[in-house]
Amino acid sequence: MSLPESSITQFYNCLVLKDHKLVSDYLYVQNGKIIDPANMFWEENRIPDVRIDCKGGIVSPGYIDVQINGAFGYDFSNDTDIIEEAVDNISKGLLLQGCTAYCPTTVSSRPEVYHKVISHLGPRQGSVENGASVLGAHIEGPFISPQKKGAHELATLRTAKHGLADFEECYGLDNLRKYAAYVTMAPEVEGVTAAIPDLIKETGVAISSGHSNATTAKAQEAFKQGANMITHLFNAMHPFHQRDPGIIGLLGDNGPRPFYGIICDGIHVHPNSVMIAYYAHPTGACLVTDAMSAQSLPEGYYKLGEMDVDVHGGHVYIKGTNTIAGSIATLAECVRNFIDFTGASKVEALENATLHPAQMLGISDTKGTLAHGADADILILDNDLYVQRVFIAGVEATNDNVKFNKKL
């Protein structure tokens, strides 16, 4: 439904996620933003133009996925010749799932791929016409450990022994400056940790530690240099050991600690490991899907970057191996799984898919919150956290006004 630009919408009969609690309240939206109704009532003497009955449901900010490689048959690293088509269709499909903002993720690739695709993965405002908001690219690799490459192609990996010059040659610093949200790198790879402060200063990009065999000491050094995130905790990293817990050990520091992505599909990380991480550092948890092109498609063979992958029984492996190659989970599923795995509250689970990812990216004034002035990206959920209705910039997204294609 199209409304006049200045119209005011009221959400009622709901529990609103506000100030780390679910409270019985109203929510008001105008011009794509959450508003304080005091001005409407006392100065303008207005009542809402539209009232939406939430039927006792939960009103949450829209979900934010900061690591997704593809979906609906499209892959951000492989579909370089149709990258705009890929972004358009993934953005719309994700929106209908309740993911209202995301970071399109590229796996380790050759420089020519980055120079071709990064400029198409930059920030883009969400709407029913555009789909979910694009928050900027997550560039995963190629400055990662060969020993912890996971599903990344070995031939693409490289070092940063020449400092910023290597990042310029690989990505283009201007591409990072304009189009990237964050980059995943391994702290122990030659030149990486030393380059972090200059890379942040020159481009403003955030840095995440991942695909790494780093010791705890090296991970702490990278964190002090500015790497304030961890990419898919537990996966593709130095395993926990009592004398050297590796990157995982950062969760046990007694000072500031990084945010961390964690894949709650029930395959990548054992539920007990999810619980250990969460109770070690609850305010740093960010649920991610790490989904690939087969998300929401039938089982079969697909691409992850240049690699062939086999999708069967809910698992994704590099073809002919037992190496996990992403997931086919949705973020809504991960939220529900998180409660099953940890016994956490609905508030905790929802904030791991909304507030924490926004804080990780430094955008929590407008995303991941229902505070006054924030973007009106809103979900209505039932009591079991199944998505009932989706709104982006205050406009409801439905199968009728959001059309997208799957690439089979």
CA separation, residue 407 to residues 79, 82, 302 (Å): 11, 11, 11
C-alpha to C-alpha distance for 176 and 182, rounded to whole angstroms:
8
> What would the mean pLDDT of 93-121 be, rounded to a whole number?
97
> What would the mean pLDDT of 213-230 be, rounded to a whole number?
98
- Asked about 290 being catalytic, the answer comes back as yes
Asked if the peptide bond before residue 298 counts as cis, ω within 30 degrees of 0, the response is no
**Average pLDDT taken over every residue of the chain:** 95
Name which of 266, 280, 390, 251 is nearest 339 in CA terms: 266
Would you say residue 43 has pLDDT above 80? no
Would you say residue 223 has pLDDT above 80? yes
Name which of 137, 160, 140 is nearest 151 in CA terms: 140
In this structure, the number of other CB atoms found within 10 A of the CB of residue 9 comes to 22
C-alpha to C-alpha distance for 306 and 108, rounded to whole angstroms:
10
Give residue-wise pLDDT tens across range 142-178.
Answer: 999 999 998 899 999 999 999 999 999 999 999 999 9
Would you say residue 86 has pLDDT above 70? yes
C-alpha to C-alpha distance for 276 and 401, rounded to whole angstroms:
42
Which pLDDT score is estimated for 6? 86
List, in order, residues 6 or more apart from 21 with CB less than 8 Å away.
Answer: 347
Give residue-wise pLDDT tens across range 108-125.
Answer: 999 999 999 999 999 999
Which pLDDT score is estimated for 44? 75
Asked if the peptide bond before residue 256 counts as cis, ω within 30 degrees of 0, the response is no
pLDDT band for 4, please (50, 70, 90 cuts): low
Report the Cα–Cα distance between both ends of the chain, in Å, rounded.
31
C-alpha to C-alpha distance for 105 and 154, rounded to whole angstroms:
18
> What would the mean pLDDT of 259-287 be, rounded to a whole number?
97
C-alpha to C-alpha distance for 104 and 156, rounded to whole angstroms:
19
- pTM for this entry: 0.96
In this structure, the number of other CB atoms found within 10 A of the CB of residue 191 comes to 18
pLDDT band for 128, please (50, 70, 90 cuts): very high
pLDDT band for 46, please (50, 70, 90 cuts): confident
Q: Percentage of the chain with pLDDT > 90? A: 89
Which pLDDT score is estimated for 303? 82
Give residue-wise pLDDT tens across range 322-380.
Answer: 888 889 999 999 999 999 999 999 999 999 999 999 999 999 999 999 999 999 999 99
Q: How many residues does the chain have?
A: 408
Which pLDDT score is estimated for 27? 98
pLDDT band for 290, please (50, 70, 90 cuts): very high
3-state secondary structure (DSSP) of residue 210: coil
Chain mean position to CA 398: 22
Would you say residue 3 has pLDDT above 60? no
Query: What crossing angle do the helices spanning 271-280 and 331-342 adopt, rounded to 10°?
Result: 80
Contact 187, 213 (CB under 8 A): no
Contact 407, 74 (CB under 8 A): yes
Contact 132, 126 (CB under 8 A): yes
pLDDT band for 313, please (50, 70, 90 cuts): confident
- Give me 308's structure tokens: 């062939």
Q: Which of 65, 79, 290, 375 is catalytic?
A: 290
Beta-bridge partners for 104: 68
